[in-house]
Chain A
Amino acid sequence: MIKVRDLTFGYSGGEVLKRISFEVERGQCVGLLGANGSGKSTLLSLLGGLFSPVSGSIRLQNLQSPGQEYRIRRQAGLLLQEAELQILGATAREDLDLSLRTRGCRDKEPAWELAGRFGLQGVLDQPVQHLSGGQKRKLCLAAVLLKNPDVLLFDEPFSGLDYPSSQELRHILQENREQGIAQVIAVHDLEPLVGIVDTCLILQRGRLAFAGKIADIGESLSEFGIRPMGRGFET
């Protein structure tokens, strides 16, 4: 589904990602971990077709970057950290309608069904600024799912969410997985992903420092700037 080969990317200030390679299969859920500034968001943007690699390649099903970023953007669903910027409709209903229009879809029923699945029916006609952080994120997710994406990319989906909203989001991620959608979830804390992700990729200063099962990471998480599981903060 996703094949990344020797991916290198940089801004004018220098290289952000260096020779990264990995694969994600259909229905697989991958956790992308790393400290702040390790290159997680940049990697997600590349996978979502927002940027073009400097060298190396990304293959998303039959599409390839560099070259087909525009089509990749239409096939992959990318949820950025700041939900507010991704919502352009004045109400949740209008925002979902906008997503339907991007697909040229006249049947609005799938949108209202998704709103129902995410518990948004009651707030469909409310101004979007009256929605809570969790509702805004769910609205973004619903809007992205209306594209029927094969790949979903999440940038810090749990940040700023309270416990019930995090639980709901975990439930949605599980459902997506059962539906065969490949998911890459960038987080800086592994705990919310336990039980959901199959594989973890850890980025350290732009390099892929680890790729494997959560159980194999062991005690080395803190070496990568990530809080070890089940451990609080030192006092």
Chain B
Amino acid sequence: MRLEPLKNKILSADPRLKALLALWLGIMTWQTGLPGVICYLAAVLFLAQLLSGSGENAPFRYRILIIPVLFWMLLKGGLEFASHQPLWPQIAMETSLLGTRLLVLLLLGFVLTWATSRTQLGAAVSWFLRPVLGSRSWQGGLALSLMIHFIPLTLRTLNQVRQSVRLRCPDLFFGARIFLWVRTVLRVLSLKTWDQTLAIAARNLDGPEAWRDASEFRKKEWAAGLVLAGIVFGLALL
């Protein structure tokens, strides 16, 4: 089955609609039970597969999600075990529900950033914030865009510094290596943040003009979004 047209439709859809749908799905994920969450997980996994198949996202390493999810599952399990009469089936049920919910939310975040570029998301956020922040709403859009822009830069810096510490200080004990690593990462990232601030100002992105949402309001697209929101709600009743 050729999925390219569907992918293109998702990529070109109104960023405001995509952000709203992601928000709705996120809220419903936290409200619904395990069957509904499993359906959501299947849907976001499908979208992740569809959207991470090319370009900068490929190949996506799903294993990076496992550690945070396992950490929170273990924490939840441990707290449940310590605070109640240990009921194993109930603890297993609750921790797996939490794990699945976290997995859905993390994947949803990735899917949203793959489906919508950082500048489009920034413009969409600026649009949402306009009733609250008025003429300063563009600052929210710029902040979000920069945050997304900084994720790959930070990951690259973390990796480069880790390699440098490993190569230059192989005999240092673990604690000292971690200290060196954290200190160097903070120094490099603060310099990058300063340079980034200058770059934003030099590109004149520190003003409202760049963050005005240029998307047209397409009725058909929003109608389809409404149907999808209804399906998400329906699945929550399972």
Chain A residues with a Cβ under 8 A of chain B: 45, 48, 50, 73-74, 78-80, 82, 84-86, 88-91, 94, 98-99, 101-104, 126-127, 129-130, 143-144, 147
Contacts and interface: CB of A to CB of B under 8 A. Distances in A.
A164 to B, nearest CB: 26
Contacts of B196: 85
Contacts of B152: 129
A88 B209 contact: no
B201 A73 contact: yes
Contacts of A85: 192, 195-196, 199
Given A98-B119, A101-B212, A101-B214, A88 B205 contact: yes
Contacts of B145: 88
B119 A89 contact: yes
Contact of B210 (A82, A90, A101, A130): A101
A98 B205 contact: yes
Contacts of B195: 80, 82, 85
A99 B207 CA distance: 12
Contacts of A48: 202
Nearest to B142: A88
A88 B198 contact: no
B198 to A, nearest CB: 6
B199 A73 contact: no
B101 interface: no
Contacts of A143: 203
Contacts of B204: 73-74, 102, 147
B118 interface: yes
Summarize B's interface: helix, strand, loop or mixed.
helix
A102 B117 contact: no
Contacts of B199: 80, 82, 85-86
A80 B202 contact: yes
B197 to A, nearest CB: 9
A79 B214 CA distance: 26
A123 to B, nearest CB: 13
A45 B145 CA distance: 23
B59 interface: no
Interface in B118-177: 118-120, 145, 149, 152-153
A157 B117 CA distance: 28
Nearest to A125: B55
A86 B198 CA distance: 9
B55 to A, nearest CB: 5
B56 A98 contact: no
A102 B200 CA distance: 12
B102 to A, nearest CB: 27
A90 B214 CA distance: 16
Given A85-B199, A88-B203, 7 more contacts: A73-B204, A84-B153, A88-B205, A90-B117, A101-B214, A102-B205, A103-B209
Nearest to B55: A127
Given A88-B119, A90-B117, A101 B209 contact: yes
Given A85-B192, A90-B117, A80 B198 contact: yes
B118 A88 contact: yes
A43 to B, nearest CB: 14
**Closest 4 pairs between A and B when the two form their complex, measured CB to CB:** A90-B117, A85-B199, A78-B202, A127-B56
Nearest to B214: A101
A148 to B, nearest CB: 12
Interface in B203-226: 203-205, 207, 209-210, 212, 214
A133 to B, nearest CB: 15
B201 A50 contact: yes
A107 to B, nearest CB: 13
A53 B203 CA distance: 21
